[in-house]
Amino acid sequence: DGLVRKRLDRPYVRRQGKLEAATWDEAFAAIAAVGASSNMAAIAGDLVDCETMFAAKALLAQHGATLLEGRQTGMDYDISSIAALNFNTTIAGTERADAILLIGTNVRWEAPLVNTRLRKAIKRGAKVFAIGPQVDLTYKVEWLGDDLSVLGALPEAVVDAFDKAERPMVIVGGAALKNGLGGALAFAERFKLVREGWNGFNTLHMAAARMGGLMLGYAQRGGIADVVAAKPQIVLFLGADEVDFSAFGESFKVYIGHHGDKGAAAADVVLPGASYAEKSGIWVNLEGRVQRGERAVFPPGDAREDWTILRALSERLGEALPFDTLDQLRAAMAADVPALGSLELASFEWNPPALGAEAAGVIAGYPIKDFYLTNAICRASPTMQRCSAELIHGQEFAEAAE
């Protein structure tokens, strides 16, 4: 029900502080009036397809702009090696692990399918240890506290389990990536998690767009803070609704997306796009598997597929993008990132970054605060709102009369 509520079905332009319905021509004219320059940026949301990200990247490149970021909530971690940011064991391979360390991840909420594989591993005799605030993962876990410094002073039970393990595994979550990635890599080196026929080092991403975005370069060295510091003249928000929009007060904000959520409310121009169900698109999951989704229905009203919006906008900004069809776009994208040209598991050579082995800091909480309201589609859903109210907050949900 979230796909049919609060939908954007026409362009909007902010006039005298208020968003007003507009034509496509008026919306493009408002952006063109600001003018394209090398000081533009694109920020990708959690559900964006690779084609949209590539089209935005190509549009910015035409004007010498390179500010691309996909970690919209402010996550900041080393991006020099995609192999170290991949879920290398694979989802299916998880159930074969015999010793597992979770660092800064509530797997039950962040990746339920991975969590079911962990349960299978436990049924086969695997031992699971975890660093972070205690939560109910639905299986037995030996919690090691919430201080990352424990990686440098491991309990004997952990050392013993990983010394004996044939298929040891570590999963690093978003809560630990900034301060714990180096320590996790040192742990992997110490216990030889990467060995012949087995790679037990894993980063767990929660966003459908994250791996594809990393492959396409949607990551600044300092995260979104680098984008804010550049004070871009124009920012393209590609379905990005979790951004601190107040940080972009001086920028002209263009929102391309499908729901009237936080991004649309903050924008100067709103361009209605298509949801994942309304376009053919490529996504890369957390294990680096390139997948394609096909359109089930058409987007509502005057909404368009996102890449076509960027293609039309490029003309109004002075130079048309060099592709007119989706096949042409995909060919150009595959030339830029060859792994995106094949619907299979991408291969990332294991070349971990040289980071400090010391991990420090307390994991105060996990990135997902409300399992039922993680994106604009869920927030538009009365069903998910009710689940949130009753199951998370213990409140009664008063549903509006229709």
Give the separation between CA 54 and CA 398, rounded to whole angstroms: 42
> In the prediction, which pLDDT does 402 show?
42
- Start-to-end CA distance of the chain, whole Å, equals 14
Residue range of the domain that includes 124: 88-203
Q: Looking at the structure, do residues 213 and 317 belong to the same domain, yes or no? A: yes
Q: What is the pTM of this model?
A: 0.95
319: which strand partners?
Answer: none
> In the prediction, which pLDDT does 370 show?
96
Q: Looking at the structure, do residues 67 and 109 belong to the same domain, yes or no? A: no
Q: What's 109's domain CATH number?
A: 3.40.228.10
Q: What is the pLDDT along the chain (402 residues), one digit of tens a residue?
A: 999 999 999 999 999 999 999 999 999 999 999 999 999 999 999 999 999 999 999 999 999 999 999 999 999 999 999 999 999 999 999 999 999 999 999 999 999 999 999 999 999 999 999 999 999 999 999 999 999 999 999 999 999 999 999 999 999 999 999 999 999 999 999 999 999 999 999 999 999 999 999 999 999 999 999 999 999 999 999 999 999 999 999 999 999 999 999 999 999 999 999 999 999 999 999 999 999 999 999 999 999 999 999 999 999 999 999 999 999 999 999 999 999 999 999 999 999 998 888 888 999 999 999 999 999 999 999 999 999 999 999 988 765 444
Q: What's 242's domain CATH number?
A: 3.40.50.740
Please check whether residue 363 lies inside any domain of the structure: no
Which of 203, 218, 242 finishes a domain? 203
> In the prediction, which pLDDT does 358 show?
86
| Tokens 């533009």, residue located | 40
Please check whether residue 323 lies inside any domain of the structure: yes
User: In 216-321, which ranges are continuous DSSP H helix?
Assistant: 224-229, 262-266, 306-316
Q: Looking at the structure, do residues 191 and 285 belong to the same domain, yes or no? A: no
Number of structural domains (the chain) is 3
| Tokens 């294991």, residue located | 350
Q: Looking at the structure, do residues 119 and 194 belong to the same domain, yes or no? A: yes
